[in-house]
Amino acid sequence: MRVLIIGNGAAGNQAAACIRKHSSECEIVMFARESFPEYSACALPDVLAGWIPLDKTFLKTSLDYEQLQIKTCFGQEVNNVDINKQCLEAGDKKYYYDRLIMATGSQPIIPKIDGSQLNGNFVVKTPQDIERIIDHKPTRAVIVGAGNIGVETASALRNRGCIVYLIEMQDRIMPLLYDKKPADIIQTMLEQEDIRVFTGERVTGVAGEQQVERLLTDQQEIECDTVIWAAGVRQNVELARKAGLKIGGLGGIEVNKYMQCSEPGVFACGDCVQSPHVYTGKPSLSLLWSSAKRQADVAAANCMGKLDEYEGNCSVVIEEIMGIPCVAIGLNLHGLAGYETEVIEHESEDLYYRLLAVDDRVAGFQCVGSLEGTGSIFTMIKKGTPLSEARKLLHNKGSISTMAWYMDSSRYIFGEY
Ligand SMILES: Cc1cc2nc3c(=O)[nH]c(=O)nc-3n(C[C@H](O)[C@H](O)[C@H](O)COP(=O)(O)OP(=O)(O)OC[C@H]3O[C@@H](n4cnc5c(N)ncnc54)[C@H](O)[C@@H]3O)c2cc1C
């Protein structure tokens, strides 16, 4: 059996490792545009901040692929997939497959507005992007988009001593993860470190002669030498579209719960797919490392004839912002629009959290100040555990020690505590 994998990111590598676990015989060939081994995109802001060296972001060496008996065609763009002939084209060669895994990922969007091509515009996606930003020696930077990548990039550049502005079009930072109140708490934390945050503002252009000099919004002009675009990503689905695979309404490759695409023998996983949300069952884009890995496990297992089902997307984003642990799991009020949602909040001097529940089921959790209990809450949300069951589970399983802070500070959530 020969499996070809397009993509050397979290999804492609997890799929390859999982296939190898299922079979020592199977021939595995991986393709990637970049010529270097797997790296962690999540660690890139830490390099920008100066906390870790760039080489620490690489998760594999060439030897690791050899040891797993994975053939690599890195630095090779796949130009065409012929589903009928079960082959793909890269360079001037054709490669035939029994199974194909599309793990083509996503890329950051730079909008086509005035000045966005000037020297001084950047994105944060690859190790080279970080090298380019550092070589540019930014002193006044505007980060466009205050999702988690934008916020991490802003704090990283602040740590390098830059004057940093963070612009967000929505009414709050990290609008897909947090509701207004916790988002405002995090915004205050950023502002206390002198990051200048502007929400509800739309970027209209970038001005400068050869080089970025100013960023223009619908409300102001900001003098700067660097603009970093963190305003969303686009799924890499052109190859899949050209091959005749179905693309969903959200722009991701359509897959079933086995991560199978619309054509036989082809699977997909990671940022390039859209899958049902674990809670709502509606199509969603996850764009997270943990989902990419889980989807890859499912794709790999099914492609090797072992049955595995993807339970659906459930986001978990854990990060340290200005030294303070922050976590967002499941859906926020925006994601639960249309559902009658109960909000259970706790606020004390150094801890804020809110738990969202719909019909007695835990649906989302946002916390600033602690990470404890995160794993258990993630499981509860994924399983749709009712609040009452959650109470029993916590009590009986003796997980009280790991949940200690949670139980202690949220007595009223679980009634009897
Ligand atoms: C700065 C940053 C911080 C992040 N932080 C977090 C975080 O804290 N938590 C979290 O969960 N997630 C985070 N993410 C998101 C997470 O990194 C991604 O969800 C995950 O890496 C996606 O992996 P992937 O394999 O699906 O895609 P990608 O990593 O995008 O890999 C796609 C691969 O496909 C290859 N490819 C595409 N088209 C072709 C072609 N035609 N021919 C050959 N090769 C092709 C590319 O070369 C690449 O190797 C972060 C992302 C970034 C950029």
Nearest to 275 by CA among 250, 293, 300: 250
Kindly report the CA angle at 243 between 237 and 247, in degrees rounded to 5? 45
Could you read off the pLDDT of 254-286 as tens digits, one per residue?
Answer: 999 999 999 999 999 999 999 999 989 999 999
C-alpha 16: how far from chain center: 20
* Whole-angstrom distance, CA of residue 152 vs CA of residue 157: 9
The pLDDT value given to residue 193: 96
* 301-333 residue pLDDT tens: 999 999 999 999 999 999 999 999 999 999 999
What pLDDT was estimated at residue 330? 94
Half-sphere exposure of 397 (CA within 13 A, CB side): 13
Q: What is the pLDDT of residue 404?
A: 35
Residue 330 Cα, ligand 1 centroid: separation in angstroms?
21
Q: What is the pLDDT of residue 388?
A: 75
| Ligand 1 proximity of 32 Cβ (cutoff 6 Å) | yes
Taking the domain 323-409, which CATH number applies? 3.50.50.60
CATH of 2-107+234-303, one of 3.40.50.1000, 3.20.20.70, 3.50.50.60, 3.40.50.620: 3.50.50.60
Where exactly are the structural domains of the chain? 2-107+234-303, 110-229, 323-409
Q: Tell me, what amino acid is at 232?
A: G
Residue 167 to residue 231: CA distance in whole angstroms: 10
Q: Which two tokens stand for residue 304?
A: 């090797």
Cβ of residue 317 lying under 6 Å from some atom of ligand 1: yes
Write the CA distances from 256 to 16, 271, 286, 334, integer angstroms. Answer: 20, 15, 15, 25
pLDDT of res. 172: 98
Three-class DSSP labels, 393-408: HHHHCCCCCCCHHHHH
Domains 2-107+234-303 and 110-229 fall in the same CATH topology: yes
What are phi and psi for residue 409, nearest 5 degrees?
A: -95, 5
Instruction: Name the stretches of the chain with pLDDT < 70.
Output: 390-417
Q: Which of 288, 294, 318, 329 to mutate to test the pocket of ligand 1 (most atoms within 8 A of CB)?
A: 288
Residue 396 has a pLDDT of 53
Which value, to the nearest 10 degrees, does the dihedral of the CA atoms of residues 112, 118, 120, 125 take? Answer: 40
Which is nearest to 265 in space by CA: 302, 295, 211, 236? 302
**Best CATH choice for the domain 110-229 from the list 3.40.50.720, 1.10.10.60, 3.40.50.410, 3.50.50.60:** 3.50.50.60
